[in-house]
Structure 1
Amino acid sequence: MKLLVCTTEYYPYGSGIANVAYNVVQQLEKKGIECTVCSPTGPDIKIEPISGCGRLTLAHYWYKVSKYFQNRQNQYDIAWLHYPLMLKSNPFKRSYVTIHSTAYGIKYPFYLKPYQIFSRVLENYCLNKLDPDIPFSSVSDQSILDLRANGVDRKKITKILNGVNTDLFGPNSKKGEIRAKYGLPIRSTVFLSVGRLTYHKMPFRMLDLFKRIQKHSKDYLLVIVGGGKLLPELEAYAKKNDVRVKFLGYVKSKDLPEIYSCSDFFFMTSRYEGGEPTLTVAEAMASGLPCIASRIPNFKLIEENNLGLLFHPSDDDIAESQIQGYLSNYDAKISKNVQNYAKANLDWKVISNSYLDGFYSAISGDVQVKTNFSVSKHH
């Protein structure tokens, strides 16, 4: 099979979309699939859009993709398209679309309401322009619901969970050395947060909630990994409110596994996420970290599989009580159960088979994805 991957971001640049595309490609190439990656940074085909214009940047990228492949589409058996906002027609005979998050799902501040409306209209128009027989997949039930709420009505949208490299992320026996490297107290109970500091992740609420939690133990420490425009403001807010937190800022991908491995719990207060689980939650699980997160649909597998705690999404009094109750009765054995779940369900080897099954089904004209795909069939 000759697979073309078209994505607006690709490793080592970008986040969620880049991570999925890159890791699936790595697994598919091991199975003998010939993969060509087209993104604003390559590595095989480089198509650069205008920058700094939000959804218009995405639309401009897909416009250039449509134009570039207009007479080159027959070089590939199928094109894997990540959130294709194509204003022009789709140039590919066979396509497979993956949606990571939606314009409908993200809640913008009130002053960005016009942009939110524009984004939803653009999403509806572009995705509904695609042939109705093109199979869609999404990384969460929530994104599927958001697509349909925005009027993107597909015959079938298959959920394929986000994955993680369980060989890379896992416990580390040198926990003390790693903590010393990052200036973290050896005996602290570390609550880790990883991700871009954006409003929908509710970082200010995280600080407020942790201030309540920290009074229950002098050993509790919040560690926040991630950059963004909100970082200076958050640092000032934490200092003003005496929150026991250490900001590590942006950390290179290659260093993330050791930071997860020296932590005790993963902590999230997001009000919206696109993936299920989010990539950071998957990494935390593979590292054996129970997840303490707000009760939103994308985190439901945490509760369903006893992988941590979901607390009240908006009431801090209730959330504090729930979290402290969980910590008071915490059994350290759960860490191994969390890691085993990630290995069995979220490893990229498992996830890539689901995508490959979808590609083969689309090529054969059968858009129904089979969950029991045999690896031997891939060769």
Structure 2
Amino acid sequence: MSLNYKRIVIKVGSNVLTKSNGLPDITRIEHLVDQISRIKEQNREVILVSSGAVASGKSILSASDKFDAVVTRQLLASVGQVKLINKYSELFEKKGLVCAQVLVTKEDFRDRLHYLNMKNCFNILLQHNVVPVVNENDVISVTELMFTDNDELAGLIASQLNADALIILTNVDGIYNGDPKDESSSVIERIDQEFTGFSEIISAKKSEFGRGGMMTKSNMAHKVARLGIAVHIANGTTNDIIPGLLSGEVVNTYFVPQKNASGRKKWIAHSENYATGIVKINEGAKLALTSEKASSLLPVGVVSIEKEFKKGEIIRLIDEDNTPIGLGIAEYGSEKARERVGVKKQKALVHYDYLYLISKN
């Protein structure tokens, strides 16, 4: 079955682009560019989220052992990103395509205005048939400023650009129902929204050269699919994996998308790190919010204001057991909200249109 995705975000990890010695696999990079050029001939838009800057840096110089991991990463990423984007530029040019470098940090997603400015940048590139090549800016992103990994970044961008699909290329065929090395294990080819229990089937082991593991990928994929975007996890080391996936010919794990969420809800869904306030809600409010019916959070359902916030800021909603329920934009500040706690017939603290509920996996 052919997949008619028009706008696709492709994320390729360091475990695909890097050889066993930690240096870039140029042949694999060339094949990736070739695949992208071929699917672009089918009138598709492609945004590439690519790891590999640190590996490219290692091919140029070796860092002294006296420096710590963060400084070494900054050094290698600084010189490696130049080499990596030059290689992409050279390879895309041979295919008659132009690529652009887009380096981002978590801070670039911190507020709605910043978020929309970045979205406008991507849109103008795509309108001019340019292939954006995106990577985290490892030169300035350290510790708490870092994304979990490029999977998280790819999910953010797919949501931001309202992509039809996100394809995550790793070094296995998808999510297995056991250890991938065990012959009795097989790929789970379809994951619906009701699926839970990733932790029961997925090893916590991370890739040798990357920061993320399959659990990170699975949780992010599930989240993005809930926002209305199809997600595929496939083996980037397989030849012609992208055309094969789009024509329905290769094994992969497919996360079935839910109904498309609004652009604002997509932003809220990825704004947990920027939440200021915390609001505790009662069981009645929890049941109302998580029911099939669209419901806003009313002050009558609020138990307490746990952390201060201002009007328009992102707030976390928790239940009486301190379990996260959702994220939303506050219609008014915590001072006014505190006055209305438990009171009926008051304006909603979080309107349904600005509410994102957290899924339990």
Normalising to structure 2: TM-score of the pair?
0.33
Q: Which protein has the bigger helix share? A: 1
